Amino acid sequence: QVQLVESGGGLVQVGGSVRLSCAASGRVISSSALGWFRQAPGKEREWIGTIRWSGAPTTNYADSVKGRFTISRDSAKRTIYLDINGLKPEDTAVYYCGNAPSLWAVSAREYHSWGQGTQVTVFS
């Protein structure tokens, strides 16, 4: 059983940056991956990107976020991160992490063990 806990959200000014964390506990299958999603009010959960859980920290990003979003991993801390730069009001959402069998999983249906999410609110 995998447990994921997100943290790091809050109120951030337009143009600012934020670092979100997703800490994992329990048994994470070494060949699996952890991914970040976000969900704005009234919208579907949107895939941001994914990183391998072990081995080379290979990442896979949605085209819509390339350039401003960076996913990284600290294996010793069993934590992945999402750095967002140049925040925009449309980045306001609850950000979630989940566990998937593959780096190439892009649908929320392929993920499990979701965390509770962390709210990011961008204000001007």
Give tens-digit pLDDT for 70-107: 999 999 999 999 999 999 999 999 999 999 999 999 99
- What type of residue is 112? H
Distance CA 98, CA 79 (A): 12
Distance CA 105, CA 60 (A): 9
Give tens-digit pLDDT for 8-40: 999 999 999 999 999 999 999 999 999 999 999
Q: Residue 31: which residues within 8 A CB-CB, separation 6 or more?
A: 53, 54, 101
Which pLDDT belongs to residue 50?
A: 98
Q: Burial level of 15, CB count in 10 A (0-12/13-18/19+)?
A: exposed
Which pLDDT belongs to residue 111?
A: 97
Distance CA 22, CA 80 (A): 5
Which pLDDT belongs to residue 64?
A: 92
Give the distance, in angstroms, between the CA of residue 121 and the centroid of all CA atoms in the same chain: 16
Distance CA 24, CA 12 (A): 25
